[in-house]
Amino acid sequence: MRQRWLTIPLVLHALLALVCCFVPLFDILGYEAALAVAALAAPTSYAIGSGVAAQTRRSRRALPRAWATTLLVLGIPWLILTLNAVRVRNCDYGEGLAFYLLLPCATGIYMATFGVLGRTVFSSSTLARRLFGVIVVMLPLVMSAWHVYRQPPIFVFDHAWGYFAGSLYDETIPLDKKVLFFRLGTLLRTAGIIWVLRLFERSQSGALLGGILAMVIAFTYDAFIGPRAGFDVSRADIERELPLVVTRPGLVIHLPSNLNEAQREAIADDHQFRLEGLQRRFAAIPEWQIHSYVYRDTEQKARLMGGRGTQVAKPWLHEIHIHGPNAPHDVLPHELAHAVAAEFGSGLLGASARYGVLVNMGLVEGVAEAVTPERGAYDLHTWARALRAIGRAPDMRAILGASGFWSQAPNRAYTVAGSFVRYLLDKHGPEPLKAAYPAADFENAYGKTLAELVAEWEAFVDALPLSDRERRMAEDQFKTPSIFAKPCAHEIAQLRVRAQRASGERAVALYRDICKHLGDATSARFDVAQALRKVGDDVGFTTEATELLARQDLTPGQRARLVEMQGQLAWQRGDVESARKAFETVLELDAASESQRLQWVRIWALGRPAEQAERLRVYLDGDVAPVRDALAFERWVRSDSSDATLPYLFGRLLARENAPDLAVATLDAIGPHPFMPIETERLRLIAESHAKLGQIDTAIADYRHQAEIAQTSGERARAEDAIARLEWRKVMKR
């Protein structure tokens, strides 16, 4: 019992490691396990340092013993997690070890040094020593929580508790320079504590002055280096990098400096249109202004506030953070919905949260997704119907539970939660939803239990018709599992990023590395096949494609893509019949409208004169040269006025090159196209071009026509959303 400061940490760290061994994502030596061990190391390492100092009079001896003992204790979970690699694949042990050294080991050394300081300085007062320990261990955690609560960044760099990346949805968590600069600051603080200890053993007054100086140096380092290295960022730092400010009613929009006046106005209009729509949908007008931070790209956003691939809202601060200065912005309505919902959310976080702090992510994201315009081929209810039909729909009751949302693949969880809330909103209106939202209290708000409401929604969804095309699309759309179900999620994500940025054989080699890590998984082999085709290794691609097509676990989309690439290769070699059969097969297999249009045009192109067909092959394979192609299309259209596809392709090119007047003239002249997916796209392009020309009423009529013949619910919904935007523009111009 006299050495509880050693035995208790040993037992706790061993137990933690054993638990991690059976928790996905924490069961390998990587970022998550290092984060968990670092969190426990903060209090235990302080206790070890204090315990060692109690047995050693001089700090000169106590410090190395405390460090050695701390590292010995931290070696237990390292050993257990290393041995666990026998049963769980470790894809990048080296990076995992680096995270372990920089998180728990650095925390352990730092806090053990503080433990020696506390025991040495307050050796005569147990109360003072314990109070000092509580302050040293808990104050950094409180300050970090306060920083996350009051400032934009979602990441946490805490010298005592380690580094939290901020978002569970970001699979890429690199060991970058900001972690190294942060731990350099931890080393500087540790040196300062050692210096204070030396001074204390000589003079208490000198130690006090030395301690003040050490604190000044440490905080100066964080304040000066932190924003530059990226580990200590404030709102002021962000606003310096987003210096353009545009205001609209209820909005303050922060933009990067490289935008012209037209871009700024388009982004501001997009924000205002979406905000006014949400206010009507929720029957709620916030009393505050919403600040929107629009970052230049994912890299800038990751550096300044975290969430590389995740758009973020902080409802309690009435602010959102999105990347990509685009208008219209796909994710803007979702994030603005979080900020508007703060009007009827819980007091502390402005969201749905039991007891004010236990956030119900299922309801929070469901509310935002329910009012977000459709971005995919189908609407939320159709996707939810398909998910239930193919057996991949999460249980809605679990989604609205304590941790059910996090355990699911994000696209599945968002879809079913959004469909459920949209059903409630459409059937009962906004008032019961607003009453239920703060604490997820459905029974008092609706007079029915959650189970009864979910059963009603399930009956509604299951009664919707479902085509084979919609089922096939769902199998591809929702094939990605939760991050907790992915082996080596972070390492694979980083390899994919590197492979996407690489070219030639280097990209192929990286995809082969992923394939090895994933045990020859079909999805990984599929990526290898695509990379081989891209670099022109036709023999290697043919071998991979043939073997993959014999597998039964290919998704319909993967199978269609492989057959499509085989068709492209056959066409390139001059084997017209094989190419035609391949594209016809893809037309049957692939349910996506864009793919259907492309395959139809390819089949049509195969029947054109040889020289024209070859030019079309190059164009359709993505080798677009606008001037060259425009001249060719114009010549072909003049020589064959009876064909509807040539003018469609020409008009599409003109629309893409921002020549709306010429696009309208070309696309309007041909009349309806015989292939309905192309006709739907033709009408969309005409409507979009008329809108760019300021011909609002004509554009609205075009979009209405498109909505009437749209092939999917998603296309129809986007046409209706475009109509709403144009009608809003008409009102704003008055």
pLDDT digits (tens, 9 = 90+) for 502-551: 888 888 888 888 888 777 888 889 999 999 999 889 999 999 999 999 98
Shared domain check, 77 and 194 = yes
The residue among 177, 208, 229 that closes a domain is 229
Nearest one of 220, 218, 140, 225 to 186, comparing CA atoms: 218
The residue among 305, 322, 344 that closes a domain is 344
The answer to whether residue 47 sits within a structural domain is: yes
Shared domain check, 204 and 239 = no
| CB neighbourhood size of 329 (10 A) | 22
> In terms of residue numbers, what domain contains 290?
234-344
The answer to whether residue 446 sits within a structural domain is: no
Specify the CATH number for the domain of residue 637. Answer: 1.25.40.10
The answer to whether residue 425 sits within a structural domain is: no
Does residue 416 contact residue 404 with C-beta atoms inside 8 Å?
A: no
Write down the pLDDT at residue 436. 95
Shared domain check, 244 and 335 = yes
Specify the CATH number for the domain of residue 277. Answer: 3.40.30.160
The answer to whether residue 217 sits within a structural domain is: yes
pTM beyond 0.85: the answer is yes
The answer to whether residue 709 sits within a structural domain is: yes
The answer to whether residue 397 sits within a structural domain is: no
Shared domain check, 326 and 241 = yes
The answer to whether residue 66 sits within a structural domain is: yes
Nearest one of 592, 632, 580, 489 to 171, comparing CA atoms: 489
Tell how far CA 334 is from the center of its chain: 13
DSSP conformational letter for 159: T
Shared domain check, 682 and 649 = yes
Shared domain check, 708 and 675 = yes
DSSP conformational letter for 354: E
Q: Which long-range contacts (CB under 8 A, 24 or more apart) does 275-282 make?
A: 275/248, 275/250, 275/251, 275/336, 275/340, 276/728, 277/333, 277/724, 278/333, 278/336, 278/337, 278/340, 278/371, 279/340, 281/371, 281/425, 281/430, 282/340, 282/341, 282/343, 282/344, 282/371, 282/430, 282/434
Shared domain check, 238 and 225 = no
Task: Enumerate the β-bridge partners of residue 307.
Answer: none
45, 64, 71 from 68: Cα distances, Å: 11, 6, 5
- Residue 342 CA to residue 356 CA, distance in Å, equals 13
The residue among 344, 365, 394 that closes a domain is 344
Please give the tally of structural domains in the chain: 3
* Positions in the chain short of pLDDT 70: 1-2, 168-169, 402-403, 482-487, 734
Shared domain check, 211 and 261 = no
Shared domain check, 209 and 114 = yes
Shared domain check, 138 and 154 = yes
The pairing of beta strand 251-255 with beta strand 290-295: parallel
Amino acid at 624: V
45, 187, 189, 223, 225 from 218: Cα distances, Å: 21, 10, 6, 9, 11
Write down the pLDDT at residue 1. 43
Residue carrying the six token digits 């979702």: 334
| CB neighbourhood size of 732 (10 A) | 11
The answer to whether residue 654 sits within a structural domain is: yes
Shared domain check, 198 and 59 = yes
Write down the pLDDT at residue 688. 96
Tell how far CA 153 is from the center of its chain: 15
Shared domain check, 207 and 85 = yes
